Structure 1
Amino acid sequence: MDREAAAAAPFLAAPAPSSRRRPAADAHILSAAFLFVFSAYGAAQNLESTVNTEGDLGTVSLGILYTSFTLFAVVASPVVTRLGPKRALVVGSSGYVLFILANLVPTWYTMVPASLYLGFCASIIWVGQGTYLTSAALSHARDNSLPEGQTLGNFTGEFWGIMASTQAIGNLLSLALLRNGKDGGSVTGKNLLFVVFLGCMIVGIVLLCLLSKREEKGDNDPLCSSFGVMLKSIVAPLKDRRMILLIPLMIYIGLQHAFVWAVFTKSIVTPVLGISGVGGAMAIYGAADAVCALVTGYLTSGLHSATLIVSFGAIVQAVVLFWLLLFYSPMGGLFGAAAPLLIGALWGVGDGMLNTELNAVIGLLFKDAKEASFAQFKVWECGAVAVIFFLSPLITLQAMLILMTAGLFFAFGAFLFLTIVVDKSSGVRS
């Protein structure tokens, strides 16, 4: 019996083979899934105010969507904790499918409920994304004895680079399939385009279903649904001064995204290039954003490198804002046609840097409270987007640019103060 036990000991001591996919492979699958889903959704969002014009249905739907997004993002953290990040991603993707289906029959009775439901789904899919990607990056760093900051930067850069490229891909699909009618007023090919978008959504959802489960320990915890735990998850991050100092940059990220969607295309691109030029300008914006996000993600190694990259991104967008405020005016000729494209490219460079680094910094500083931290990000970002959608018809372009400039300087100053405080108090460095 002793000899048999000794012979069996190596087999009993050997670890059970793990069926979990490597974290890097999960990050690739997550990025590919979002590529399909948001190539369709991003282009559909850009078209809302153009193809659903009756009673401003498209614009109102987007305002409702982002208001709903903001409200539901407040409680997204406990929902994602309860579901687990993978299940939250799959459930959240259903809202995007419903939104595309509503666009095939656009009425107040289809678009408004779809927008409200998408606001809820968007809040949990984005909190789930931030949680899942951060978890995969930190697991990869631990498994391979790599620096956490650098690994998180690499994973974040890849994801946001691919996400930014959806602007180029989706708008090129719109450019290829949409046609103006003979009378110059109607648009043909819309239903075909949205059917193609629906197909992209389905492929993306299938990829999300293939993800491994990660950190789903909240699945069976009945306390996750209690009001006290929910309230704590909402309020607790606001007690951390690091989160308070990041909030201005979160708000600015929302402001500058809404500026591109609601103001740049309408007030800068359309007067020079016409509606047909919007797709091309947004494609250039998306391509510049994607390349910059990929590069800056791989240059990120911690707070010090993130500060340098955020500084450069802020300078690029400040240059664009001052150009628009002080010198820009629509003009003809080659330079006049190229100016909106150059502005879109520069804005994409700045967005790629700011958005990528903010996501990486949140994952690095709040790795023990990922769901609540990314939920806070979406609350402030989407609240700013909703404000711009409702404000843009009421104020001038100059007033909007002044608001953007003030927001950029305040956000950048708060971020610099954060890096100084964290460096001195906790020693978090690259």
Structure 2
Amino acid sequence: MQNALVLNLDPPNSHNEYTMVPAALYLGFAASLIWVGQGTYLTSVARSHAKNYQLHEGTVIGSFNGEFWGMFASHQFVGNLLSLGLLRDGKGGGTSGTTLLFVVFLGSMTLGTTLMCFLNRRDGEGEEGPPKPSDSFYSSVVSLLELVIAPLYDKRMLLIIPLIAYSGLQQAFVWAEFTKEIVSPALGMPGVGGSMAVYGAFDAICSLIAGRFTSDLSSITLIVSGGALIQVVVLLWLLLKYSLTAGLFGSIYPLLMAAMLGIGDGVFNTQLSAVLGMLFRHDTEGAFAQFKVWQSATIAVVFFVSPYITLQTMLLVMLASVVIAVAAFLFLTVHLEKAFSSTTS
């Protein structure tokens, strides 16, 4: 539920300023370890399951990622419904409501940590593992750095990075700009939680469906193109046609756009994780490290620059980014599909 609370419930003060920055640094560092481990482990489990039951590896990787991201996206639905209830009076709720919300977050984290202790180690054949304990600290650090940087020398990763960057860009747009510029003026502060709950619900549903239809690079390309097209429709709608209106349609339009943006996010999360797991068999950790580096970097950039740019500028940047990202991905599928087939044969 880390992204569920989209609004600052308490007024800023000096105490918050001195605690929020260290807390953000700590959470970012911890999240980087968790996400790389998650992507690597889920891919390893999918490969092992496919091998044990004689199933198509690409299909299993897609299904596993769809189920994971579907469950993960549901946190936005549940968490934002909680925030919607907390903000129903339009005043940000009280201290007791905020405390209850953080108790729920703490309980969710504790449950996840406990369940993690029951995970079994899965070692894929032919995959390079982390440095051995007998290595020196210096050599271990060097090996890890080489492991992370190595994917950048691969043309396939360079062609995927624009799509990874756009996935972070569109997430930050939803959290920072869409809620502030589109949802709040139409639905008010209490409506932000409801619209993001819609976003999370469609994100989860789309993740499950997209994962089921994933089997190989061709299917991934088709699904990614569809998700990108849906987001392009929303961006053009906002850029050319949308205006704040009263009445029923004025309330429905932001919810409809939230649903369409959620579909796109579900597509990008499942398909990027699947394609990295399929293409980078011998450097899974490095591939997922690149995934989080570029995605998190674009999220950070948007939050830093959003106070200084207009909504129209942001929409134009996103349109240009999605066109470049999809074009690079299509180039990958057209010119490197033979190489991909050889890695999974």
Common fold by TM > 0.5: yes
Give the structure 2 partner of residue 313 of structure 1: 227
SS of equivalent to 2:238: helix
- Distance across 1 between alignment mates of 2:279 and 2:330: 15
Segment drifting more, 128-137 vs 417-426: 417-426
Is residue 289 of structure 1 aligned with residue 203 of structure 2?
yes
Task: From the superposition, tell whether residues 178 and 271 of structure 1 become closer, same or farther in structure 2 (CA, over 3 Å).
Answer: closer
**1:193-272 equivalence runs, <5 A:** 193-215=101-123, 218=131, 220-222=133-135, 226=139, 227-272=141-186
Q: CA RMSD in A?
A: 2.0
Is residue 171 of structure 1 aligned with residue 55 of structure 2?
no
- Distance across 2 between alignment mates of 1:362 and 1:187: 44
Give the structure 2 partner of residue 145 of structure 1: 54
- Distance across 2 between alignment mates of 1:391 and 1:217: 37
SS of equivalent to 1:257: helix
Deviations 1:117-145 (A, max 9, x none): 11110110000000000000000011111
Q: TM-score, normalised by structure 2?
A: 0.92
The answer to whether the 8 Å contact 2:84/2:192 transfers is no
Question: Amino acid of the residue matched to residue 12 of structure 2?
Answer: E
Question: Amino acid of the residue matched to residue 252 of structure 1?
Answer: Y
Q: Higher relative contact order at CA 8 Å, sep ≥6: structure 1 or structure 2?
A: 2
SS of equivalent to 1:253: helix
**1:179-194 equivalence runs, <5 A:** 180=89, 184=91, 187-188=94-95, 189-194=97-102
SS of equivalent to 2:85: helix
The sequence identity of aligned pairs, in percent, is 55
Question: Amino acid of the residue matched to residue 326 of structure 1?
Answer: L
Is residue 335 of structure 1 aligned with residue 249 of structure 2?
yes
- Distance across 1 between alignment mates of 2:274 and 2:39: 9
Deviations 1:363-403 (A, max 9, x none): 00002101100001111100000000011110000000000
Segment drifting more, 197-206 vs 252-261: 197-206
- Distance across 1 between alignment mates of 2:174 and 2:221: 24
- Distance across 1 between alignment mates of 2:52 and 2:282: 18
5+ residue gaps, structure 2? 124-128
The answer to whether the 8 Å contact 1:134/1:367 transfers is no
The answer to whether the 8 Å contact 2:186/2:251 transfers is yes
- Distance across 2 between alignment mates of 1:388 and 1:361: 25
Task: From the superposition, tell whether residues 319 and 224 of structure 1 become closer, same or farther in structure 2 (CA, over 3 Å).
Answer: farther
- Distance across 2 between alignment mates of 1:138 and 1:174: 38
Question: Amino acid of the residue matched to residue 323 of structure 1?
Answer: W
- Distance across 1 between alignment mates of 2:31 and 2:340: 34
Is residue 43 of structure 1 aligned with residue 9 of structure 2?
no
C-alpha displacement of 1:220: 2.5
Deviations 1:180-235 (A, max 9, x none): 48xx4764421222122212221121111221123376463525752431331232
Is residue 419 of structure 1 aligned with residue 333 of structure 2?
yes
C-alpha displacement of 1:42: 2.0
5+ residue gaps, structure 1? 1-38, 58-105
**1:54-65 equivalence runs, <5 A:** 54=12
Is residue 132 of structure 1 aligned with residue 41 of structure 2?
yes
Give the structure 2 partner of residue 71 of structure 1: none
SS of equivalent to 2:3: helix
The answer to whether the 8 Å contact 1:178/1:190 transfers is no
Bigger-Rg structure (1/2): 1
Question: Amino acid of the residue matched to residue 54 of structure 1?
Answer: P
SS of equivalent to 2:199: helix
**1:373-392 equivalence runs, <5 A:** 373-392=287-306
Deviations 1:318-361 (A, max 9, x none): 11111111000111010111000000001111111122111100
Q: TM-score, normalised by structure 1?
A: 0.75
